[in-house]
Amino acid sequence: MDTILGPLYTAVSWIIVQFHKLYSLVFDKDSGWAWGLSIVSLVIVIRIALIPLFVKQIKATRNMQALQPKMKAIQERYKNDRQRQSEEMMKLYKETGTNPFSSCLPILAQSPFFLALYQVLNKIAGGHEVGVLDQTLVDSAREAHIFGAPIAARFMDSGDKVAALGATLTDVRVVTVIMILLMSASQFYTQRQLMTKNVDLSVKTPFMQQQKMLMYIFPIIFAVFGINFPVGVLVYWLTTNVWTFGQQMYIIKRNPTPGSLAYKQRQEKLRAKGKLKEDPAEVQTKKAVEAARANRQQPKRMTKAQRQAAAAQAEAKKAEAKKAAGQKTSLTKDAAVDDQPARAGQQPKKKSGQRKGPQRPKHPSKK
């Protein structure tokens, strides 16, 4: 691993040394302030470099939220065919230009620097040179204490090892426990801020359930692994959590997810300030609804006599309609009876007194 991460050891140690030189102008070069602030500055440099990836993460997360209903439909349709389900999912990602792994880019990009810092602090604790840190700088870093705990000490270190770093086991464990709690709490509130303010709650999707689970799982993971982290790594991770919280708060305030609570609050503020440009279609629909409400007449309250008269009038209209319908039915039946012989192919009977045909002139009778 040292061979693979060697360049990162050099990069991380070089950044720390440069900031240490800067802070040594203000603080004692062997103090925890000089070395601790150097680690904090390392985090800031890395997070500024990762801002483009963070923007991609935000876009990818929103795209995944928007695709959840379609993904759920695909899973229901092809629940018995895993291969077809995967093919349809990949097709959906390709059509929408969504990469499901983009949301993990900032964490993945930070991981090598995190591992490099971890190894650098381990080398410092052992008194070994690493990267651009020569023996003088290594000894200076070993003597640096943050609130009484050496930056290279860990919660699980033995008393002898902590004593060799010039501290007591109680000081180290108290400081590490407080920093682990702060680290876990910052992680929890960062995820909670995302779930309560920047998620469209009108659509219930499996993605929301996953995010809710991560809100509780991540702090526990950090608490468990934190006891094996050196104090300097805890400083690094606490700083990056605070940075993430502030950065996320800025994004939620400036560009919240449509349909989320933060989005509705922002729309209300812009509307109150007169800065919200409403959609013309929405404005027209709103005007039509208001006009319909204005023109709508409430039914007048009638007295008992008026109600009885209205009921009698309605009954009279019904009777007239039935009578007209009966007359029409009678006429239709008569017409049907008259037309029946013709429909049966028979000649209509002629009435009495009607000539059957042309009559011949009568001759005078013979006498």
242-290: per-residue pLDDT in tens?
Answer: 988 888 888 878 777 766 777 777 778 877 877 766 554 444 545 554 6
42, 19 contact by CB (below 8 A): yes
H or E stretch covering 150: strand 149-150
Q: Give yes or no for residue 358 having a pLDDT over 60.
A: no
In the predicted model, what is the mean pLDDT of the chain?
76
Q: Which residue has the higher pLDDT, 355 or 165?
A: 165
Q: What is the pLDDT of residue 105?
A: 66
Dump pLDDT digits (tens) for 315-328. 888 788 777 777 66
* Separation between Cα atoms, residue 76 and residue 103, nearest integer Å: 25
Give the tokens for residue 355.
């000539």
- The domain limits of the chain are 6-266
* Separation between Cα atoms, residue 87 and residue 90, nearest integer Å: 5
Q: What is the pLDDT of residue 277?
A: 60
Dump pLDDT digits (tens) for 169-190. 999 999 999 999 998 898 888 8
Dump pLDDT digits (tens) for 127-162. 888 888 888 998 888 888 988 899 888 898 888 888
* Separation between Cα atoms, residue 329 and residue 28, nearest integer Å: 113
Residues present in the chain in total: 367
Dump pLDDT digits (tens) for 58-113. 777 777 766 777 777 887 888 788 888 888 888 887 777 776 666 666 667 777 88
Q: Give yes or no for residue 299 having a pLDDT over 70.
A: no
